[in-house]
Structure 1
């Protein structure tokens, strides 16, 4: 019997190696984490539990048992204890508590009481929709000494955005126990109001942050309290008055 040609043996050995590598790759790929798909622009979906979502939370009327009615987000400050929301969400600050990262009935980062609020005179005196942006300082509801920014981090604040800036909104409809996420390009509804097309942002999403490249560029509110239909939402333009409020809260926080 003539010996088999050496090149044929090498070819078969190489094929076996390739098959083994392919099988190993298939096994390994089963265990690899799959990156969460980002919904297309203009599509609202459940937000994942990530760093950005943990900085956003629901505002409750006293406790987790009393239902959430608005949304707020942690922003950076000298004393690391400031949140941003819509001014119309702060009508009862003495009984309002904030639950960052709230999900499925749980507050993984605790409850935080409001210690001071920073609202523009135009809102206080006449509920001017162009002034429907506010800030508040918070402290642990249990009397602790933690700082909320040390716990979940905070968003920087950005002004002077382009008219068509694309933002990501994270917010809690009152009937949902998880935050929703939607991103889309904005447009100017007026010189002082922005609008965005995002479905299902119903009551409870007021105060939701509008994030441009990870920075707070507005909050859901303003015109008609944020809008009269869940498909179209608004934010007052983050102008000089809002920036002054932020600076006052961020520097004076204590």
Structure 2
């Protein structure tokens, strides 16, 4: 598969859009705590990793390969749009995360391109998509938020992004009110069982797998399970007893992984904190304008 198995930038023409800056940040919008990042290599990161989802009630037998299923309401496929605004191919995966504006979708930055902007992003989100059905509607991306380190140099440690979405039918609904949302967790490296969900390109159903997630380095997490090919980038690492807490997304090291058997994620920390605050503030302000 190679380094670019989940990258779509070579296929998507981009236009110029207004840049969104951190000046849009409003105080008091963070929903999680953000301690200093761990340092000292993978072994040190593993020692400092915080267990997640390892209670007797939450741990299930580990799986070695993904399985297709009907999907989750708050996880969906990201589609390219043609010039007429119609869905074409689904190329990546996203998940709805809790936010004051109730309209944010979390994914990997390499799924979209680089440079935070507002306008026609050329993508749409279909939560719960399966077998050609869009049970929770289609939501058009109207703004992109990614870290400056990704926009300027595709830093694998900054491969994270938020999309602001709006009802493609033109109604006033918010996606979070329709699908529910995942909690966003970023207390640094995590260790324990997680369920990873993604949409393989060309398939009409998502796949999922439960296994352990561990620090790969001081900046990256690793998840081992076969069956996460092209299209699963941006898929959430879901932890906790109810598997409704996002602790990572497929991306980062090797574009999320050079094989279908091992997937990676950026360790959520200060970059994700800052980006979430910016996206939350800007989308909340825009929804009121």
- Category of TM-score, reference length = shorter chain: 0.7 to 0.9
Aligned to 2:123: 96
The answer to whether structure 1 residue 76 and structure 2 residue 76 are counterparts is: no
Report which of the two has the higher share of helix.
1
The structure whose Rg is larger is 1
Post-superposition offset of 1:187 = 1.9
Structure showing greater relative contact order (alpha-carbon pairs closer than 8 Å, 6 or more residues apart)? 2
Post-superposition offset of 1:41 = 3.0
Structure 2: distance between partners of 1:140 and 1:163:
34
Structure 2: distance between partners of 1:69 and 1:39:
30
Structure 2: distance between partners of 1:65 and 1:252:
26
Post-superposition offset of 1:70 = 0.2
Q: What do residues 140-187 of structure 1 show as CA deviations (whole Å, max 9, x unaligned)?
A: 112211100000010010012554222111110002111101111112
Structure 2: distance between partners of 1:150 and 1:56:
14
Q: What do residues 92-140 of structure 1 show as CA deviations (whole Å, max 9, x unaligned)?
A: 8621111001000111111111111110000000000000011111001
TM-score, structure 1 normalization: 0.80
Q: 1:90 to 1:234 in 2, by over 3 A?
A: same
Matches within 5 A, 1:8-157: 40-49=62-71, 53-62=72-81, 65-91=87-113, 94-157=121-184
The answer to whether structure 1 residue 222 and structure 2 residue 244 are counterparts is: no
TM-score, structure 2 normalization: 0.70
Of 152-161 and 71-80, deviating more is: 152-161
Structure 1: distance between partners of 2:189 and 2:264:
16
CA RMSD of aligned residues (A): 1.7
* Count of residue pairs the alignment pairs up: 214
Structure 1: distance between partners of 2:239 and 2:218:
19
